Amino acid sequence: YRTIDALDAHGKRVLLRADLNVPVRDGLITDRTRIERLCPTIAELANDGARVIVCSHFDRPKGRRVPEMSLKPLQEALAAALRRPVAWADDCIGPEAEAAVAALQDGEILLLENTRFHAGEEKNDPAMAAALARLADAYVNDAFSAAHRAHASTEGVAHLLPSFAGRLMEAELKALDAALGNPARPVVAIVGGAKVSTKLDLLGNLMKKVDVLVIGGAMANTFLAAQGHPVGKSLQEAEMHDTAREILAGAQAAGCEILLPVDLVVAEEFRANAATRTVRADAVPEGWMALDVGPKSEEAIEQRLRGASTLVWNGPLGAFEIPPFDTATVAVAQIVAALTQSGALKSIGGGGDTVSALRHAEVIDRMTYVSSAGGAFLEWLEGKTLPGVAALTNK
Ligand code: 3PG
């Protein structure tokens, strides 16, 4: 793929696909990471004299104009983060968008309304892609986190204009390559979260690529139960036991060590500061549930990390939202941060809950890279080709 280093932006109309699908609660943006990470690309293009036309989806309006899903509030947020004015167009294609683009001067920035207000976006309708392409002379994709969607603004339009990866896209792709594409070995992966069933492809791909696969979170209960251990009333997927055994056998055949918890922190109820006990992983008492991995498991993970050069982390080790079940996740995150800062470990994390867990552990700034992507990061861990990235690469 070409980065914006190869784009002579001066005087050009540049369509920049961003991911401004930020979390909002009660009308307020609760996390500005995606906005902040987008700013360097916008600023660089504007400084180079481009007319920067920013487009993005927001939420899932399903092809209709849903006022609560307007990108309008992002105009001010973006202007504040950039410390420059940002103009607005009430539509992302058609006469209104075209007029707003025509009014732009070199170095100015325009934000377009939600691309998903048009059904053609998610259908990757060639007419929608053509209408977007008409707005610009070049296309820059900075939305790695939406690259798993083959939509008109993430995929279709890339075939119609000279296309480039923005700085955020470039940073994500470099970090991912350092994690699994071409990693320094040994590689450890930590995979947690609730369900084995949602991470089958991910586990299948990782066991072929990493040296040690640490399994935590509630999905570890399914593996322990599949090995015949009592799991009390722990969350687990009884219908996944055969699959779990197949994964264990597959990993062994692939030469990948699977590290399951050796001890667990259990409680009778999932609530803050519930009375807990630490038990062996093969001895969860009847009526109790596992909510975190225990100190011996933490030690085993630490030992693997000390011997590793690269870490890929997806999913918390315990029910970290409610203390004290955040203990192992926070402790391991602290070790990861220290090893990263000492230069011994390259650490890459991402996907859904992982970012909240790492933020909770206050290590985001001390890891090598934390992806801003949710679903796209997971699909990439599954080894899938992301259409938004492929469209940039195959040019
Ligand atoms: C995300 O938040 O993961 C991306 O913006 C993609 O959103 P989507 O799942 O609605 O396509």
The answer to whether residues 39 and 140 belong to one domain is yes
The answer to whether residues 161 and 204 belong to one domain is no
Query: Is residue 392 situated within a structural domain?
Result: no
Span 322-346, pLDDT tens digits: 999 999 999 999 999 999 999 999 9
Domain that holds residue 118: 4-166
The answer to whether residues 215 and 245 belong to one domain is yes
Ligand 1 binding site (Cβ under 6 Å of any ligand atom): 19, 21, 60, 145-146, 149, 374-375
Query: Is residue 390 situated within a structural domain?
Result: no
Which two three-digit tokens encode residue 62? 């399903």
Q: Which helix (H) or strand (E) holds 267?
A: strand 263-267
Catalytic residue list contains 250: no
| CATH number for the domain harbouring residue 46 | 3.40.50.1260
The answer to whether residues 232 and 362 belong to one domain is yes
Ligand 1 centroid distance, CA of 199 (Å)? 18
The answer to whether residues 159 and 203 belong to one domain is no
Out of 108, 138, 166, pick the residue that ends a domain: 166
Average pLDDT, the chain: 96
Span 99-136, pLDDT tens digits: 999 999 999 999 999 999 999 999 999 999 999 999 99
The answer to whether residues 215 and 301 belong to one domain is yes
Q: Which residues participate in the annotated binding site? A: 19-21, 34, 57-60, 116, 149, 199, 321, 351-354
Atom of ligand 1 nearest to the CA of 57: 5
Contacts of 51 (CB under 8 A, 6+ apart): 11, 12, 13, 14, 101, 104, 105, 106, 107, 108, 110
The answer to whether residues 97 and 153 belong to one domain is yes
| Section 142-153 average pLDDT | 98
Atom of ligand 1 nearest to the CA of 375: 3
Span 63-100, pLDDT tens digits: 999 999 999 999 999 999 999 999 999 999 999 999 99
Strand partners, 141: 17, 165
Span 358-385, pLDDT tens digits: 999 999 999 999 998 999 999 999 999 9
pLDDT value at residue 25:
87
- Ligand 1, atom 9: nearest CA belongs to which residue? 375
Query: Is residue 395 situated within a structural domain?
Result: no
Query: Is residue 394 situated within a structural domain?
Result: no
Query: Is residue 387 situated within a structural domain?
Result: no
Strand partners, 189: 213, 312
- Ligand 1, atom 3: nearest CA belongs to which residue? 374
Q: Which of 65, 123, 195, 233 is flagged as catalytic? A: 195
Query: Is residue 391 situated within a structural domain?
Result: no
User: Do the beta carbons of residue 250 and residue 204 sit within 8 Å?
Assistant: yes
pLDDT value at residue 395:
56
- Ligand 1, atom 2: nearest CA belongs to which residue? 21
The answer to whether residues 99 and 219 belong to one domain is no
Q: Provide the domain count of the chain.
A: 2
Q: Which residue among 24, 29, 145 has the greatest number of ligand 1 atoms within 8 angstroms of its CB, and so is best to mutate?
A: 145
